[in-house]
Chains A and B, each alone.
Chain A
Amino acid sequence: MSAQKQHITSSCIVSGNAVYKDGGRVLGVQSSDLASFLLGVYQHFELNYPKFYKMDNLSKLGWLASEVLLKDSFDKSKYQPEEIGIVLTNANSSLDADLKYWDSVQDVASPSLFVYTLPNIVIGEICIRNGFKGEDALYITPQFDASFLQQQVIYLLDNDILKACICGWADVVGDEYKAALFLVEKSEDGVEFGVEELDRIFNT
């Protein structure tokens, strides 16, 4: 077990038509609905990832938040692929994709919509993009639960199951959404990985 303490080395919030990185607002996008907002974020950061277009809104939201979270903040060459993992939580599971899939069934059931009717697919999308092969998990909680999240992630880091963990919240139903991702590493610097800090950043 390493002596270094876990710290939040980066954070990203996507909420209310804006994107925040490490507490500072980095982008606001005027848009009438979630899909156009997410596209605006994608275009602003000049991301070039054709898979983005086929994702459902939950995956787009979580994936975009992970791109901003990791950009200029994460040196993945410090770790092996299986040392980096993801723990996400949300309240509404994949309900947004479920509703859209079920609408499609009345006509022709679409496999490309059905695959998103699982809430952990967003984790898979982030793993594919970055080659992360460590442990991951998707838990459903009634609201953002900093204490539960912290416990889960500390277990993984303290037991050397992971060396770096992306954790947080990504939730979508219709045009209601919020993502809050935290990069947690054993490091000298960063924000303490504590419940109060998680709640403070979440409520930015």
Chain B
Amino acid sequence: MGTSKKDVFIIADNVYTPIGFTTQQNFEQLKIGLSGVQKHDRADLSDVSIAASIFNKDQIFIPGEHTYTKFEQLLIASITEALSHTDIKIDDPKTGLIISSTKGNISLLETEENNEALQKRISLNTSAELVADHFGFINQPIIISNACISGVMAIVTGMRMIQSGQYNQVVVTGADVISKFVVSGFQSFQALSAERCKPFDKNRVGLNLGEGAATVVLSGDEKYKGNVRVTGGGISNDANHISGPSRTGQELGDAIIKAMNNVGVNAEDIGLISAHGTATPYNDEMEAKAIILAGLQNAPVNGLKAFYGHTLGAAGLIETVLAKQCMEQNTLLPTLGFEEAGTAPLNITTAVSKAEIKHCVKTASGFGGCNGALVLSK
């Protein structure tokens, strides 16, 4: 099963968030326990104060004259920094671009008059074309909008497009911006925690929102041998409820097993699980059950949502890049916010520690009952 598959290497990456504009900066902040989640009183976001990881209002992402929206600027800034570490040819017909987002430019609805021109400006197709043109990609970008698994799905899609020979290299990027549209929606679900969130903790009460972007550059070129590889992916649906997770975790568990079968690894080979861990009562319990069903109850589990909030379409990308960094640095990161076990029993990380990580599982789940998992290998 999958043994003859082509290797897909991560040859460059970026994480662009309120606590750092490069992968390295972000990783250093995580090691010292610095979180981007803070209390904000911002009438443009919410009538009540919220805890979220957001950029300063006057933050400049791309200098100079341009008409890019904040969402597009985040994508461009993240891609630009990632590409500075590699010399791949963007205008090569074998170079692809995949963009992941849940809500893109939706915040424009809040400040602009609704008409046909605005609707076109909001469209993810418009943003994708602008970003592709900015860098000179010649292939039509692929846009994934599959709720909170978008980022994981985007990387899995990129891996497959290289394995099938369609592309030799793929730039996979994603971003989401936090505005009143998204905040009010999560508030209406009573899903937000007023304090910094507590993934997998007994006293977790909900999630924080966050904004950011991340990029990975994938290549099938054997000259990158030695780099961390994307080796497996699995996607499934709960077929249970559009806004509540599965009660059993069986379907996310199946996605994890599918991803591990792609690689041909066993449970004891997994040195890190980078969990979705939104810190809502139901998600974390479901995820814990899924991890146990996949036989991974002993593997170290790390969640980063108390550092970044839930960055929606960027989350899978941000967390995958930082998991890759953990593998390269032989380092486990703490799960900020976790103190007391509050789900089916898992091995949750609580401190920075040294560990050899050969293979890592990244998980995600989202509205619509979707689940995604991928495997990184050293």
Contact = CB atoms under 8 A, between A and B. Distances in A.
Contacts of B181: 98, 101-102, 105, 117
Interface of A: 81-82, 85-86, 91-93, 95, 98-99, 101-102, 105, 108-111, 114-115, 117-121, 123-125, 127-128, 130-142, 148, 151, 155, 161, 173
Interface residues of B, number: 50
The list of the 5 closest CB pairs from A to B, nearest first, reads: A124-B368, A114-B185, A140-B143, A109-B188, A135-B235
Contacts of A121: 147, 242, 367-368
B49 interface: no
A111 B244 CA distance: 12
A141 B143 contact: yes
Interface in B297-321: none
Interface string B226-254: 00000000111111111100000001001
Contact of B124 (A93, A101, A115): A93
B370 A136 contact: yes
A137 B157 CA distance: 10
B122 interface: yes
A124 B245 CA distance: 12
B369 A124 contact: yes
Contacts of B143: 139-141
Given A124-B370, A140-B143, A133 B251 contact: yes
Contact of B146 (A81, A111, A120, A134): A120
A133 B236 contact: yes
Contact of A137 (B110, B166, B235, B243): B235
Contacts of B122: 95, 98
B368 A142 contact: no
A95 B124 CA distance: 10
Given A119-B145, A124-B370, A139-B143, A109 B235 contact: no
Nearest to B119: A95
Contacts of A102: 109-110, 181
Contact of A120 (B187, B189, B370): B370
B147 A118 contact: yes
B168 interface: no
30 contacts: A82-B236, A85-B237, A92-B123, A93-B124, A95-B122, A95-B123, A98-B122, A102-B181, A109-B185, A110-B188, A111-B185, A120-B145, A120-B146, A120-B366, A121-B368, A128-B239, A128-B240, A128-B241, A130-B239, A132-B237, A133-B238, A133-B254, A135-B237, A136-B146, A136-B237, A136-B370, A137-B235, A151-B166, A161-B258, A173-B119
Given A95-B122, A128-B240, A128-B242, A117 B109 contact: no
B142 interface: yes
B180 interface: yes
A95 B156 CA distance: 26
B144 A139 contact: yes
Contact of A105 (B184, B237, B242): B184
B239 A133 contact: yes
Given A95-B119, A95-B122, A117 B103 contact: yes
**Residue among B110, B114, B157, B235 facing the most chain A CB atoms (10 A cut-off):** B235
Contacts of A120: 145-147, 366-368, 370
Nearest to A111: B188
B153 interface: yes
Contact of B109 (A99, A111, A130): A99
Contacts of B359: none
Given A101-B185, A117-B103, A119-B145, A124 B237 contact: yes
